[in-house]
Structure 1
Amino acid sequence: MARIWYQSFVHPVEQAPYIERLQAMLTKVASPGISFEVHGLDPPDHSFHALSEFRCAAQVIGNALAAEKAGYDAFVIGHFQEPGLIEIKGAVDIPVIGLGEANLLAALSMGGRLGLVTIDPVFVPWHDRQIRMHGFGERYAGTQALKMNLPSFMKAFTDETAYAQVRSQFVTQVKPLIEKGAEVIIPAGGLPMLLFARESPFVIDDAPVLNGIAIVAKATEMAISLRAITNVVVSRRGTYAKAPPAAISEFQARLR
């Protein structure tokens, strides 16, 4: 059985209903012989600010090192902005899959241009930077934003009226992206991805809305399979050069 550490950025107790739904979704889509295990963060990523993302990145890097030591076969950064992605790929020898990166790559295999709908306007410039970092600028139609809080999203999982309201707001934000040439839409966050996964397919004006949780799950399975075939996880030249043991030890010492 291949074990995969799925790192969510929500609190494991306070957002337990979300964690449980996410775990159920991953279990549903997993192939035989694959086990996803969802882990939260304490404290979670509850402040929409770069400083909070930086603090979470440090926690998640530590968790990735711990996951490798515990024998996990892969590590998923289940947060679209994927803080710590470069550092983690450079610190461990198991496959590391970012929720954002996996979905961006999948979207560009399905259409010429992609568009994002994020959960808050504060993230628009963040995603602009993320797109540039991954080198996808020429095929990026832009990012639109909802203005939703966590209770509203959580209510939409169980209340049909609340779901219809969130869906309507989402469709409204997708329209300008389609006008700009977007052919594939990504809900930029684990919460909206999981919420809209109930619709199969979810298509707006012929543009598919990705089921991002299923995509990152299958990207992880593929990475594990390819490692078994090729014995290669990631390039160690340049971007993901392996951190020396002393650097890893010093980092872990600062976490204690």
Structure 2
Amino acid sequence: MRIWLQKHTVAGRLPLLDKWYEAHLNAIIAPDTTIDIHTLPEGTYDDATPFDYVGFGNLALRFNGYFAETALTAEREGYDAWIIAAGQDPGLREARTLATIPALGYTETATFVAAMQNHRFGVLGFMPKLREPITDNIHRQGLSHLLTSYQIVRDGAEAVRQALDGSFDLFLDSFGRAAEAAAEAGAQLLIPAEGIPNEIFWHLGIHELHGLPVVDPAGLAVKTAELLVGAHGLGILGRTAAGYWFRRPEPRVSDHVERVFQGHLIGRA
């Protein structure tokens, strides 16, 4: 089984984080699974992280289209499943429309599994601008009644920065206080809103805070992808082709439209 994991980062900008991701995912995949981590084009942004780019719906539309195309590329290259490893699940709906292989999202998988167990969850995030799209997604999923709170971690950005430099004291203190607030609000599970803190938790071996399990959304998405691919292969669950978003035109029509728009400059014949 081959899984394409798409990140919202550029490879090499945070070498320690890249190393943590690779160690994390290799530790959890099944023996017959290979997972390839894909990132954004080198020139997407100049900084170490895309933090300045993720707070705008205007830019998100561009990223969504790119990520959805990576799902289609994954299918054409023989991958069995595709995962978007970003908290706001960018391009997930579009990916499911373009590609037929299982497409999973970082946060959606975590919240749906929590709902399957009827567990209330608190979200811990350090990027305030992502609270709106993530909570909007939870609302559209019909799971707002299980979201007890969305905690913006105090000093979270600095805590993450220090952790990526190998100093974890502020991270443990800041996220610990946020976890305590989430527990007091009635959460039964904690979900990291962004992928970087999740990798820090995994690296430190932290799977519980203030008596609450800390969900590993990236790992859960990978294991769910394995489950879905296996279920598809056994005929337990298949991809629907009914309805507007999943009905597929004849291949020649898709190929024609794709050729028309590739490289076309708007405003020129």
TM-score (norm 1): 0.88
Alignment of 1:1-256 (within 5 A): 2-42=1-41, 43=44, 45-46=50-51, 47=53, 48-110=55-117, 112-146=119-153, 147-149=155-157, 153=160, 155-157=162-164, 159=166, 162-200=167-205, 202-230=207-235, 232-238=237-243, 240-244=245-249, 245=251, 246=253, 250-251=257-258, 253-256=260-263
Secondary structure (helix, strand or coil) at the match of 1:59 reads helix
**Residue 112 of structure 2 aligns to which amino acid in structure 1?**
L
**Residue 20 of structure 1 aligns to which amino acid in structure 2?**
K
Secondary structure (helix, strand or coil) at the match of 1:103 reads helix
Structure 1 runs of 4+ with >4 Å offset = none
**Residue 114 of structure 1 aligns to which amino acid in structure 2?**
F
Secondary structure (helix, strand or coil) at the match of 2:87 reads coil
Aligned mates of 1:198, 1:21 — CA distance in 2: 7
Cα deviation, residue 3, structure 1:
1.2
Secondary structure (helix, strand or coil) at the match of 1:171 reads helix
Aligned mates of 1:255, 1:182 — CA distance in 2: 47
Asked whether the 8 Å contact 1:11–1:41 carries over to 2, the reply is: yes
TM-score (norm 2): 0.84
Asked whether the 8 Å contact 1:141–1:177 carries over to 2, the reply is: yes
Q: Go from structure 1 to structure 2 and tell me whether the alpha carbon gap of 1:237 and 1:178 turns closer, same or farther (over 3 Å shift).
A: farther
CA RMSD of aligned residues (A): 2.3
Note the alpha carbon deviations across 1:217-254, whole angstroms, 9 max, x for none: 11111111111111644333347413434357535753
How many pairs does the alignment contain?
252
**Residue 207 of structure 2 aligns to which amino acid in structure 1?**
F
Note the alpha carbon deviations across 1:82-114, whole angstroms, 9 max, x for none: 111111111111111111111112223455211
Asked whether the 8 Å contact 1:120–1:145 carries over to 2, the reply is: yes
Secondary structure (helix, strand or coil) at the match of 1:77 reads strand
Asked whether the 8 Å contact 2:2–2:81 carries over to 1, the reply is: yes
Note the alpha carbon deviations across 1:48-81, whole angstroms, 9 max, x for none: 2222222111111111111111111111111121
Secondary structure (helix, strand or coil) at the match of 1:90 reads helix
Q: What are the ranges of 5 or more consecutive residues in structure 2 without an aligned counterpart? A: 264-269
Note the alpha carbon deviations across 1:141-175, whole angstroms, 9 max, x for none: 121113544x853541452xx31211211121222
Secondary structure (helix, strand or coil) at the match of 1:230 reads coil
**Residue 121 of structure 2 aligns to which amino acid in structure 1?**
L
Asked whether the 8 Å contact 1:185–1:210 carries over to 2, the reply is: yes
Q: Go from structure 1 to structure 2 and tell me whether the alpha carbon gap of 1:41 and 1:248 turns closer, same or farther (over 3 Å shift).
A: farther
Q: Go from structure 1 to structure 2 and tell me whether the alpha carbon gap of 1:3 and 1:104 turns closer, same or farther (over 3 Å shift).
A: same
Sequence identity, in percent?
A: 21
Aligned mates of 1:114, 1:179 — CA distance in 2: 12
